[in-house]
Structure 1
């Protein structure tokens, strides 16, 4: 009887002792799971911090992700931050080359930030092409190098294109105040395209040498005839001035009749006939004896 009671008492004590141990394991498991859950975010943060200070490749030149004129020079894994000259942007066509270029040649839409400008007279930045300060001066612009400007005038009929950095037709440049109507003061007459020309031509009412081509019948572009010629509206082409009665005297005071005649009938240069003796000297060939002596 005593033995049976002793067995029951031992069982009760064993159960009592096993409960705290199971509870501790459960609490320990929860703590381990909490710690593991916190580790991945810490690893990501550390990885991001390392990426900003590391080169994508051990050697090369790499564009900044946000600023178009900033780039990085990597040498043996050591990164150096650099800036292009003010007004230029980094050309990332190849990581092998360190090249700063004009903004017109590079797409900066995904990294639009730029360094603070350093302007000077006529130059909004130290380097680049810039339109004239007066919005109605469409055919003049400035080319700036290291803060020093040079003014350039577009050919007649063209305006400065701010998006391309070149001279363009007004309808291509699309500048406010520099449209075809603003520049030329000419409106294309309405035409019936069913019976008319797609790009009809019209004489410039102020200048016999020039005419307008109306693209698709409504957008004027100014063109000119070569020196000595005028636009013949009847034939819709350039013709020698003397053949167009209303413009026959257009070049009077500018060119003499003799000069106009030479332009219309340029002198021809006579070519030597096939039987004419050649003036080229025959090459001198050394005699065999002379060749042996030299040898």
Structure 2
């Protein structure tokens, strides 16, 4: 009360003299007790000493919900991979990715739903109930053929509508990566190299195996097998018009390889083979104004 009387007295007299540091600290302590909402510490904290000087700027403590690690940003749900939270000024809105996509939490500043390939959902494995349609277990994504024995066919689904896609020869659709891959890398049950190819890599010494030897496909001149480390066969092929030459271990024009010179006779004419073997040079562009400095076209009339 003494301090308040002094303050009122000074105000009435128009005095400009400031309070001493001791008086200022005492007054500040009184205000903090009267307005606990401005305190950053609990009410059980030790009181200020009279001789202690304290800055008079205090921030109100903000209690963020567990869904918002920061005031603003996009954050994944703790248990569900396709759910996330849009946080604005500490308040959150719960959101779901389109069915089949999951939230990509690579940066809190970006709101991005993505295909699940390459995104770790092991710690938040739950997903929304699927909205399935023919060939599409979910509305969005890449999905294997329903027949497990069909190794190279898959479906690309958007909004529940599918496109049927077939992998290039020798490759298998990988459900782990969503792309076509070598059978030994796709690791799809029933779709390994031994299941697909009527070929087994011959046993060779270690030095030869290290070169990944190649062998002709006995049933198709255009194709051959690469034996990775001499053990794992991968079927590969030459471009149209060519065949694999087992003597050189390379592709060459089929008509130059005695055992394959007639391979394309029922597919391409001699004229078409000639065009493949001796392609015409591409015509150089002609005409048009130069873009070099000093030769730009003018707009003079």
TM-score for both structures, normalised by structure 1: 0.72
Please list every run of 5 or more consecutive structure 1 residues that lacks an aligned counterpart in the other structure: 1-49, 272-277
Residue aligning to 1:121:
134
Contact 2:289/2:297 (<8 A) preserved: no
Alignment of 1:177 with 2:190, yes or no, is yes
Residue aligning to 1:34:
none
CA distance in 2 between counterparts of 1:55 and 1:281 reads 59
Contact 2:132/2:138 (<8 A) preserved: yes
**Where in structure 2 are the equivalents of 1:102-141 lying within 5 Å?**
102-141=115-154
**Where in structure 2 are the equivalents of 1:57-96 lying within 5 Å?**
57-96=70-109
Residue aligning to 1:224:
237
CA distance in 2 between counterparts of 1:254 and 1:159 reads 26
**Where in structure 2 are the equivalents of 1:256-271 lying within 5 Å?**
256-268=269-281
Residue aligning to 2:180:
167
Relative to structure 1, the CA distance from residue 172 to residue 81 in structure 2 (aligned partners, 3 Å threshold; closer, same or farther) is same
Deviation, structure 1 residue 56: 2.1
Residue aligned with 1:79, SS: strand
Relative to structure 1, the CA distance from residue 57 to residue 232 in structure 2 (aligned partners, 3 Å threshold; closer, same or farther) is same
Deviation, structure 1 residue 193: 2.2
Structure 1 runs of 4+ aligned residues shifted over 6 Å read 278-282
Give aligned pairs, total: 234
Please list every run of 5 or more consecutive structure 2 residues that lacks an aligned counterpart in the other structure: 1-62
Residue aligning to 1:245:
258
Deviation, structure 1 residue 253: 2.2
Alignment of 1:205 with 2:187, yes or no, is no
Deviation, structure 1 residue 105: 3.2
CA distance in 2 between counterparts of 1:53 and 1:240 reads 67
Contact 2:173/2:186 (<8 A) preserved: yes
Residue aligned with 2:224, SS: strand
Question: In the TM superposition, what whole-angstrom CA distance separates every residue of 1:207-253 from its partner, at most 9, and x where no partner exists?
Answer: 00111111111111111112221111122111222221111111112
CA distance in 2 between counterparts of 1:72 and 1:162 reads 28
Alignment of 1:191 with 2:204, yes or no, is yes
Larger radius of gyration: 1
Contact 1:53/1:79 (<8 A) preserved: no
C-alpha RMSD of matched pairs (Å): 2.7
Residue aligned with 1:104, SS: coil
Question: In the TM superposition, what whole-angstrom CA distance separates every residue of 1:180-229 from its partner, at most 9, and x where no partner exists?
Answer: 11122221111122356631111111100111111111111111112221
Higher helix fraction (1 or 2): 1
CA distance in 2 between counterparts of 1:54 and 1:105 reads 24
Question: In the TM superposition, what whole-angstrom CA distance separates every residue of 1:239-284 from its partner, at most 9, and x where no partner exists?
Answer: 222221111111112222233233223345798xxxxxx9777959
CA distance in 2 between counterparts of 1:285 and 1:141 reads 53
CA distance in 2 between counterparts of 1:95 and 1:230 reads 53
Contact 1:54/1:77 (<8 A) preserved: no
Residue aligning to 1:235:
248
